[in-house]
Structure 1
Amino acid sequence: MGRLRLFAVIPLLMLFSFVMALSVTVAPAGAAAPSGRTITATPAEDEGADLVLLNRPVVRFRGSLLGATPQQRARRGENNLAELLQRGGDDTVSTRPTELGNIVLVGGQMAFVLTEGDADRLAGQTLATLTDATVARLRQVIAESRESRDSEALLKGLSLAVLESGVALALLAGLTRLHRWVGARLLAAVSRQAERLTLAGTELIRGDRILAIVRRLVNALYGFLLTVLVYAWLGQVLARFPYTRAWGEQLNGYFLGIAAGFADGILSTLPNLLVAALMFLLARGVVGLLRPLFDHVSSSGNRIGWLDRDTVEPTRKIANLLIWVFALVMAYPYLPGAQTEAFKGMSVLIGLMVSLGASSIVGQGASGLILMYSRTLRSGEYVRIGEHEGTIVALNLFTTRLRTGRGAEITLPNSLIVGSATHNYSRTAGGASFALDTTVSIGYDTPWRQVEALLIEAALRTPGVLQQPAPRVFQTALSDFYPEYCLVVQASPAGPSPRAEVLSRLHAHIQDVFNEYGVQIMSPHYIDDPASAKLVPKTRWAPPPAAGSGP
């Protein structure tokens, strides 16, 4: 509907311009031109009055002459020019200096007088320069008035306007098709990319909102290009007819002025943009030179000085960040608008926001770097941090993620890890194995050699427990009623969950072995001997509903 209205407006504007020009052509000889149509005097209390012919200003009267105000002088000049142009004949423009000023003549007849008071002294204008400019404008207006009475010239202008309108309509149709084609493909591409913006299966940004924003941007660009096209067409069509030529020239001049301003701004900032681009290209080149070194250490595992597989990734990120920040600092003075007050104010605001909010971020980042470069933790190791125990699945700059044997994932701030005691169960043995321990308390009436043998036999029965290094038993305490025995083994599960399963199976085998040999477990505390030993005979190891199950 909007384009149909536009198609209807274009012929109406052409018809309006042609009718106005034709009305000037068919004015009867000897009739005064209506002042509201071809010649107007625009009063201005402080700046004078303008004399306008065919919508084109000829001169501005600023001073009085023989008691006549600028407004009265403009009206008299209007009447004189109307009579001279309607009378026809010689329309040569000339001037004659007098004591009052310079008389402007048309065909040897006085049109108006220019005085010293009419010159714009603030602009450095003199009476001579004012006279020359007025004569040039008056000759142009008279030529256009002559053209407005030439039917052949009007038909030629109308033909050119029709041709230009046809070209504008063709460009409009092409622009509309291009808008539909680009919009459909761009929306399809954005929709495909939006589906990939997920984190752990969660959509980061709603796809329909992204599509709505892109659709509005495409429509806004289409509207802007459409406005430019209609603006350019209107200026060209109006410039084809004498009566509306001044309007068309004003439209074209404004449009060209804006375009020239943009072009001048682009050309003036182009050298600085090239310098800034060179800074970023150098930064990209340095990053590219360092990439093979980091990739070699990451893939081969070979150590180069202090750089190894554990520190290569954080080192890569820190090096890239420093390089790009350095490039940004070096290119900052060459960016367009960098010296403006608005740009400086924005820089101060960003610096203030960073300084206020960066204290905790810097602390977390420093803690992450300490963990990475001190090699306290590595991905895949089984650790205990405070009350949390699990396998490290990710060691980042700000946080560390643990996955427990029960399937839960815990995210810990790096500052908390640095300030806590860390138990690493994977460093005592090579490879992916880790230490596993459990404690039991047995009465003094059971020989300690038997207890150690039972614990070792239970460990060797447990799947996942390594035979080398061999399980070991330590007597960690001699309490009032019992000694405490700590069984330490090495296990090698395939992931974080099997560790809990290994520990569960180890506890199950300890119970089975102690029941087989008739040794009662008194954990965690031995208080008194019961009336009968707390043992489970083998015939009752799998009562319903656990029949047939085993460790």
Structure 2
Amino acid sequence: MVVDSAVQQKTIHPMVEKGGFPVDADSTIFLFKGIGPYSLEERAARVREKLTALENVNLDITPLKVEYNQEVNDILCQDQIILSINDADAQALGLSRRATTEYYKDLLKNALTQEEEGFSNLLFVNIGIALLIIGLFIFGLKYYNRLFRLLAFKLQAQKGKVFKGFKVKQYELLTVEKQLLIAGWLLTVAKYALLLFIIYLLLPALFALFPWTQGLANKLIHYVVDPLVALGHKIVGYIPNLLFIIVIVVILKYFLKLLSFFKKEVATGRLEIKGFYPEWASPTFNIVRAIFIALAFIGIWPLLPMSNSEIFKGVSTFFGLLVALGGAGAFSNIIAGLVITYMRSFKIGDRVKIGEVIGDVKEKALLNTKIKTIKNEIITIPNSQMINSHTINYTTANEEEGLILHTTVTIGYDVPWREVHKLLVEAALATEHIKKKPHPFVLQTSLDDFYVSYQLNARTREIQKMALIYSELHKNIQDKFNEAGVEIMSPHYGAHRDGNQSTIPQSYLPEDYRAPSFRIKTEE
């Protein structure tokens, strides 16, 4: 090797006095300043590690290369940077950075170059080791398969012991056979996954035995080690956020349990709050629970992994848009359902009339209310529609003196009103489920051109039999009026008359009453 005369005059060991740090055992390569995040000592240690890994590399197979950059010059072996030279290293030697780089390249080449004979002997040894590793792997593969067959038999033996099926209430979600099938599938996946992992670990061991594949071995190791190290650093760095999330979840869990306890106490009536009704307990609990879950989610969201990534933001925005576009009607029904609950218009089991629908309330939900009509029809009414229509609650009206049923008949003026009142009251009292007290009563709602409108009012407690009671009441009205000889009609008079006869009922007229005749007078 021919070295520049200026370089030959330089002494190496006195470089320690200038602040140099030796890299190799022979103290031929010195570094004088750190690079990037690495201090001088860390930089020297990394170079020493790389040189140790290349001790058995033959330069005919793995030549050294140099890359000249603006800040530093790099010496590479198999596309891996072995040593970087900066201006401080060159100034300490009294050379230019380029000359220093070439000088250290020659030193590295001499250190890494070995006798061909020694290399050949080592190569044969390494080939023997590789064949031994492959043989042991093939031999162990036989027992590896036996091991997993034994585990499969062990799984089958657990039928009825560990694998007993899985039920959710009365529904059998997983039978014993399905559990065994899933367990066998998982065991097969584990078998081949572990085998691939072992092969992946064996490849770097084999590649590391030969100089021309050592670089590939390092890459395979880094493919596994680097992600695991990065993942480990991220997990360790995420521990404070994880602890904070756990604290929030635990506090929320026990706070909701406390709220659930008070909800049950209020709903059952054991705890009374003035102005707060028991039926408000469940919806109020649901509202408060939703609010606190939302607040906890807002607090946890920034702590989630990748919460600030663009992908995470895009997905969350997309789902938010879907909810906004598709949930407008649902949200209006939810709000209407809450309003109806706190209005206390009705409760489950009440007989109501909503719009034109009459029936019993069977279900109250956030989105709709289900009504069972007297014809056994189940009608589902959206809550947003209910909030815009009037609601009649017959059950609430029945809580005091009973619900007042009413019906109207029109009778001509020729029938005395007292007789009509009497007949209507008798018909009501003859009807089953009509209360005798308070007594039924009649209202004359209008005096029309040809007839009078009589409205019969009677009370009942049997609101579930309203249709039957009305039907029987109408039958009794017909019977009572027919027995009394009174026509139920709304007469329209079309006969010609002189208009002299009084329209007052006959009972009110004198017995000797005679209709006056026409007076005709002629003049001469």
Q: Which TM bucket (shorter chain)?
A: 0.5 to 0.7
Residue number in structure 1 paired with 2:459: 490
Q: Which amino acid in structure 2 is aligned with residue 376 of structure 1? A: S
May I ask how many residue pairs the two structures share in their alignment? 412
Q: Does 1:161 align with 2:119?
A: no
Task: Give the TM-score, by structure 2 length.
Answer: 0.63
Q: Deviations over 1:300-357 (max 9, x none)?
A: 2764133212322211211111111111111111122211111111222223233334
Q: 1:123 to 1:302 in 2, by over 3 A?
A: same
Q: Which amino acid in structure 1 is aligned with residue 149 of structure 2? A: A
- Counterparts in 2 of 1:294-443, with a 5 A limit? 294-300=263-269, 303-430=272-399, 434-443=403-412
Which range moved further: 135-144 or 219-228? 135-144
Within 1, Cα distance between the matches of 2:110 and 2:150?
A: 45
CA shift for structure 1 position 195: 7.9
CA shift for structure 1 position 396: 2.6
Residue number in structure 2 paired with 1:504: 471
SS in 2 for 1:145: helix
Q: 1:235 to 1:112 in 2, by over 3 A?
A: closer
Within 2, Cα distance between the matches of 1:317 and 1:291?
A: 10
SS in 2 for 1:306: coil
SS in 2 for 1:442: strand
Within 2, Cα distance between the matches of 1:454 and 1:189?
A: 73
Gaps of 5+ in 1: 1-93, 198-206, 531-551
Q: Contact 1:165–1:233 (CA<8 Å) still a contact in 2?
A: no
Of 513, 526, 530, the match for 2:480: 513
Residue number in structure 1 paired with 2:240: 271
Residue number in structure 1 paired with 2:37: none
Q: Contact 1:426–1:435 (CA<8 Å) still a contact in 2?
A: no
Q: Contact 1:235–1:248 (CA<8 Å) still a contact in 2?
A: no
Within 2, Cα distance between the matches of 1:228 and 1:137?
A: 41
Identity of aligned residues (%): 25
Q: Contact 1:441–1:526 (CA<8 Å) still a contact in 2?
A: no
Residue number in structure 2 paired with 1:457: 426
Residue number in structure 1 paired with 2:198: 233
Q: Deviations over 1:458-482 (max 9, x none)?
A: 3333333334444332222222222
SS in 1 for 2:425: helix
Which range moved further: 122-131 or 374-383? 122-131
Q: Which amino acid in structure 1 is aligned with residue 125 of structure 2? A: E
Residue number in structure 1 paired with 2:125: 147
Within 2, Cα distance between the matches of 1:231 and 1:250?
A: 17
Which range moved further: 475-484 or 230-239? 230-239
Q: Contact 2:349–2:360 (CA<8 Å) still a contact in 1?
A: yes
Q: Which amino acid in structure 1 is aligned with residue 421 of structure 2? A: E
Q: Which amino acid in structure 1 is aligned with residue 432 of structure 2? A: P
- Counterparts in 2 of 1:24-43, with a 5 A limit? none
Within 2, Cα distance between the matches of 1:106 and 1:423?
A: 96
Task: Give the TM-score, by structure 1 length.
Answer: 0.60
SS in 2 for 1:401: strand
CA shift for structure 1 position 399: 1.8
Gaps of 5+ in 2: 1-25, 30-50, 68-74, 85-100, 496-524
SS in 2 for 1:474: strand
Of 268, 280, 290, the match for 2:259: 290
Q: Contact 1:383–1:391 (CA<8 Å) still a contact in 2?
A: yes
Q: Does 1:280 align with 2:249?
A: yes
Q: 1:130 to 1:454 in 2, by over 3 A?
A: farther
Within 2, Cα distance between the matches of 1:392 and 1:106?
A: 88
Q: Contact 2:429–2:436 (CA<8 Å) still a contact in 1?
A: yes
Within 2, Cα distance between the matches of 1:432 and 1:349?
A: 58
> Relative CO higher for 1 or 2, CA cutoff 8 Å, sep ≥ 6?
1
Q: 1:252 to 1:165 in 2, by over 3 A?
A: farther
Q: 1:166 to 1:330 in 2, by over 3 A?
A: same
Q: Contact 2:411–2:488 (CA<8 Å) still a contact in 1?
A: yes
- Counterparts in 2 of 1:256-267, with a 5 A limit? 256-267=225-236
Q: Which amino acid in structure 1 is aligned with residue 455 of structure 2? A: C
Q: 1:228 to 1:424 in 2, by over 3 A?
A: same
Within 2, Cα distance between the matches of 1:113 and 1:386?
A: 91
- RMSD between aligned residues: 4.9
Within 2, Cα distance between the matches of 1:342 and 1:364?
A: 33
Within 2, Cα distance between the matches of 1:526 and 1:370?
A: 50
Within 2, Cα distance between the matches of 1:475 and 1:390?
A: 30
- Counterparts in 2 of 1:74-153, with a 5 A limit? 117=66, 119-120=75-76, 123=81, 125-126=83-84, 128=104, 145-148=123-126
CA shift for structure 1 position 289: 1.2
